[in-house]
Structure 1
Amino acid sequence: MGTSMATLIAGLFDAHPAALPYLAHGDDVRTRGEVRAMVEREAALFASAGITEGSTVLLQVPPSYTQVQAVLALWSLGAQVMLVDHRFKSAEVEAVREVGRPQYTVRGGVAGATPGFTAEYELVTSRLRGGRPAATEHRLVQFSSGSTGTPKMIGRTPREVAGEIDRFARIEGMPVTGERVLLLSSTAHSFGLIAGLFHSLAQGVTAVFASKLTAGDLLATAARYDVHVFFGTPFHYALLSTAREIPPLPSLRAAVSGGEIMEPSVAERFTARFGIGLGESYGTTETGVIAMDVSGSLRPSVGRACPGVEMRVHLGEVEVRLPASPYLSGGGDRFTDGWLRVRDRAELDSDGCLHLHGRGDSLVVVGGLKVDLGEVEAALRTHPAVTEAVAVHNGAIQAYVVGGTTASELLTWCSDRLADYKIPREIHVLPQLPRTPNGKLVRRHDVLRAAVPA
């Protein structure tokens, strides 16, 4: 596939006939050839703005054909693309800019909005003062929550992206040429981007998008295109299982969940309603996919290590062998002697299947999206009246603070600084926070809840 992004993109488009459908949304079905032509036109516009090989570009566009085409166009020019979730608020985008120092921003839609899939957005390209060109070969850059509020910057090279595309192609049960996948996972995150968009382009698969996030609309879209596979998060499968009626889906053969670990009850309900197992894809932004079971037959494990992945459980936590640290900033001591500590507690059974037992740090998953509770605490502590803050997760994020303010004021404060999925569901203002005998703040939900006045 080559080692530059431009070569990689060209090779993916050349892999199958131009007339084969690639993207589908409502009545708007676009062939590989049509998307390629749009990518080339978009690339010419970016080039006229000064974007070239090694330019650094922050891209924030809601789910859309525009987002797909902009990513591919920027990579075809050799730019380093910093993908930012469309739900990020202005303060979060500014934090990313401070860390990444991009030369350009390309944005569409309204920052912080949470629309469904829309075909087109008008893009605005801006040149930034003080931006720096790429200093490494990394061309895909993503950001992960940091416990101090400063995002961690994670980079992947064209060779690493190509390797993961190939890895997905070697996993039994993945969509194949001529099939259609209902892509519900975010295309700004690793699973939706690589397993959804790039795998589909490499294998001649059609990626189908739904307009609205309702069980009825998702199933109507699946039936309209007679899809073969679902890709989504546990939220999507819980939603689909609430449907009053399920239309005929004669070709549906697989469904895979990524982003967070599936609750057994959700998988059981989905299987009972749809008659197929619910598979699991386990990975991280830093590593890409680690383990996967498309069939769902290996539950409660998340499957075995994917082809080409060297994985181990060391001192009770998952570690993955990588050629170099994926962190361009942040990351601390997580990468040592060629091994990345994923910070998920786990064990391997005698068949080599990986069983996960929760996080070993402050990272939690909300709606398939990772949130570092330390980032939530850091945002609360920036309020001038707050002296202490603790955030915990017990089905939802809850915060406990000390300070001369109110819960409603703090919710407003957070809504201006955190993406909606990071905002605490509940905030409690206490006269003091519980501490251990040696003075450390307690982060146990039951102890904190007991400290709330009746």
Structure 2
Amino acid sequence: MPIPDDRLPPPRFNAARHCLAENARQRGDKTALVMAGESGAVSRLTFGQADRAVRGIAAGLLGRGLKPGDRVMIRMGNETDYVLVYFGALAAGLVALPSSPQLTPDEAAFLMGNAGVAAIVVGAGFAKPPSDDGRLWLDADAVAAMKAGPPLVDYADTGADDPATLVYTSGTTSRPKGVLHAHRAIWGRRPMHAHWLGLTESDVMLHAGTMNWTYTLGVGITDPWACGATAVLYNGPRDRGAWPRLIEMHGATIFAAVPSVYRQILKYSDLAAYDLARLRHGVTAGEALSPDLLAEWTDRTGIPLYEALGMSEVSTYVSSGPTIAVRPGSPGRPQPGRCVAILPVDGPPEPLPPGETGLLAVHRSEPGLMLGYWQRPEEEAAVMRGAWFAGGDLASLDAGGYLWFHGRNDDLMNAMGYRVSPVEVESVLAAHPDVAEVGVAELAVRADVRVIAAFVVPRPGAEPDADGLLAWCSERLAGYKCPRSIRFLDSLPRTANGKVQRKRLAETQG
């Protein structure tokens, strides 16, 4: 059945206004964002300052000739201006395209061309390309001038269904696909505030991710601001033991990370040395939370840990949380107000009964669901099944409504919470002169840890060189897409039709 009307956003809705305008009016002097840096350095931004800066950036972007609907690509590190430019684009009625600073020049160029980017906003370390094809190029000085310039009087009068954000994720081809979200996507996040995050305006949310990741932009920034809470991010040097110190220093009441970060905290931190009394619970997503890690965390800290399942196309919609009891091995139940079903892999899209495995599906009336895939109608058609969106996850719902994940119906991999297409990695390795054939798959290195591995058949006469192939990948792929292991084989396992059997690769010894 469709989403009830009381869960739908108002017809005229701007996501940036939703997160900032009322906060600036009611709690303008309250800290909205804390950036924790090296050696205890801290910078703070109030809601009033954020609102003023975002409207200044919005006016500056429009004043430079951009039109509503134009795409604005953000290429920055973990810095405050990343957030302000993102919300500034939304405030102006433009479409923000967050990107990773790990992208190689070729990867970034593909996104610019595929999205028809009109403007690129960069941080330190990003040089202007030899040819920008007439795109507007804005650096830190330009951003500072826009923030100080005259602001928009009000946020753009956008519709709830107007495009707001374009996020690129791995598809089934060798190139990433754009997931286009409307302004209503932020409204669609509301069920997770109570039922996963337990988030209120009195909270301090510390997120362990970087801003280019939708998990961080959503849970780390958007959700706290939508609730009037304070967001804390870290942009200091890599330090696996930093998180308990930051939790204590900033009085974090909620901590968000991927499971591997919780594992690192338990391994590298002296938890007894820190006061974690204000931390009400931790939340995790991006990777499956193993029952062993859950048990160790709760036994050693006494602090609840709540998991969620989501994806770029619809965010997190299944979870445990303050209102949904934890059941080890399951990410939880569909949050109240969500319309979720299990569909047959083949045949009519009629929901299956409890206990049967099929495609995990979300009703198309869900306000958090994407508008569609950018210029990829064939992939969009593949995931839309009647009144349902089914993204390829295989799962079942038990009699109590808890979801049990059974893998993917395709070959997409999960690398530290990022979906990665094996085809994209294979196409890079296949271009190496010493590679005759290659297959890429996930490889289990521990019961709850999986990495990307490449299985290579060398060309006749070539000397196997794993380090050289890894370096080749690092020059052509973002770091999170690169294999962590190279295995050499005499041949790849194939079907009778000649297709590489990726699921058998991880069972192959090389």
Structure-1 residue corresponding to 2:375: 329
Amino acid paired to 1:409: G
The 1-side partners of 2:34 and 2:458 are apart by: 51
Shift of 1:213: 3.8
Corresponding residue SS for 2:171: coil
Alignment CA distance shift 1:172-1:55 (3 Å): closer
Shift of 1:191: 2.8
Structure-2 residue corresponding to 1:244: 270
Structure-2 residue corresponding to 1:365: 414
- Of 225-234 and 136-145, more deviation after overlay is shown by 136-145
Structure-2 residue corresponding to 1:432: 491
Structure-2 residue corresponding to 1:130: none
Structure-2 residue corresponding to 1:22: 32
The 2-side partners of 1:355 and 1:92 are apart by: 35
Match of 1:98 among 69, 88, 113: 113
**Identical amino acids, percent of aligned pairs:** 25
Structure-2 residue corresponding to 1:132: none
Shift of 1:438: 4.9
The 1-side partners of 2:296 and 2:396 are apart by: 26
CA contact (8 A) 1:22 1:32 kept: yes
Match of 1:192 among 216, 229, 253: 216
Match of 1:343 among 377, 389, 392: 392
Shift of 1:302: 1.2
Superimposed CA distance per residue, residues 331-389 of structure 1 (whole angstroms, 9 cap, x where no aligned partner): 25112213121211211111111111222211121222221222111222233553421
CA contact (8 A) 1:234 1:368 kept: no
Aligned residue runs from structure 1 range 49-68, under 5 A: 49-68=64-83
Structure-1 residue corresponding to 2:242: 217
Shift of 1:21: 1.2
CA contact (8 A) 1:9 1:76 kept: no
Amino acid paired to 2:140: E
Match of 2:162 among 116, 119, 137: 137
CA contact (8 A) 1:60 1:86 kept: yes
Shift of 1:327: 1.4
Match of 2:179 among 132, 154, 169: 154
Structure-2 residue corresponding to 1:397: 452
- Of 5-14 and 251-260, more deviation after overlay is shown by 5-14
Structure-2 residue corresponding to 1:207: 231
- Of 199-208 and 306-315, more deviation after overlay is shown by 306-315
Corresponding residue SS for 2:219: helix
Alignment CA distance shift 1:434-1:287 (3 Å): same
Structure-2 residue corresponding to 1:285: 312
Amino acid paired to 2:187: A
Shift of 1:399: 0.9
CA contact (8 A) 2:192 2:317 kept: no
- Of 297-306 and 76-85, more deviation after overlay is shown by 297-306
Alignment CA distance shift 1:172-1:402 (3 Å): closer
CA contact (8 A) 2:59 2:92 kept: no
The 2-side partners of 1:214 and 1:204 are apart by: 29
Corresponding residue SS for 1:68: helix
Match of 1:13 among 10, 23, 38: 23
The 2-side partners of 1:298 and 1:258 are apart by: 15
Amino acid paired to 2:336: P
Superimposed CA distance per residue, residues 286-324 of structure 1 (whole angstroms, 9 cap, x where no aligned partner): 112221212562332211112332111113221111247
Structure-2 residue corresponding to 1:412: 471
Corresponding residue SS for 2:102: coil
The 2-side partners of 1:219 and 1:397 are apart by: 29
Alignment CA distance shift 1:449-1:300 (3 Å): closer
Superimposed CA distance per residue, residues 10-58 of structure 1 (whole angstroms, 9 cap, x where no aligned partner): 5453474101111113432221112222223333433343334222111
- Which structure has more relative contact order (CA 8 Å, sep 6+)? It is 2
- Of 398-407 and 228-237, more deviation after overlay is shown by 398-407
- Of 168-177 and 413-422, more deviation after overlay is shown by 168-177
Superimposed CA distance per residue, residues 92-138 of structure 1 (whole angstroms, 9 cap, x where no aligned partner): 212222321111111213469xxxxxxxx93678xxxxxxxxxx931
Number of aligned residue pairs? 433
Corresponding residue SS for 2:27: coil
Superimposed CA distance per residue, residues 67-112 of structure 1 (whole angstroms, 9 cap, x where no aligned partner): 1111111111111111112222222212222321111111213469
The 1-side partners of 2:87 and 2:419 are apart by: 25
Amino acid paired to 1:412: A
Alignment CA distance shift 1:216-1:425 (3 Å): closer
Structure-1 residue corresponding to 2:140: 122
The 2-side partners of 1:272 and 1:53 are apart by: 52
The 2-side partners of 1:62 and 1:294 are apart by: 31
Structure-1 residue corresponding to 2:326: 297
Alignment CA distance shift 1:52-1:365 (3 Å): same
Amino acid paired to 1:337: G
Superimposed CA distance per residue, residues 390-420 of structure 1 (whole angstroms, 9 cap, x where no aligned partner): 0011122111223435433322221121111
Corresponding residue SS for 2:73: strand
Residue 95 of structure 2 is aligned to residue 84 of structure 1: no
Alignment CA distance shift 1:91-1:23 (3 Å): same
Residue 280 of structure 2 is aligned to residue 253 of structure 1: yes
Residue 188 of structure 2 is aligned to residue 167 of structure 1: no
The TM-score with structure 2 as length reference comes to: 0.78
The 2-side partners of 1:253 and 1:145 are apart by: 34
The 1-side partners of 2:225 and 2:25 are apart by: 8
C-alpha root-mean-square deviation of aligned residues, in Å?
2.6
Residue ranges of structure 2 left out of the alignment (5+ in a row): 1-9, 37-41, 128-138, 144-160, 345-357, 444-449
Corresponding residue SS for 1:343: strand
Superimposed CA distance per residue, residues 206-259 of structure 1 (whole angstroms, 9 cap, x where no aligned partner): 111233442432111110112111111112111111212341111111110011
Alignment CA distance shift 1:204-1:447 (3 Å): closer
The TM-score with structure 1 as length reference comes to: 0.87
Shift of 1:436: 3.9
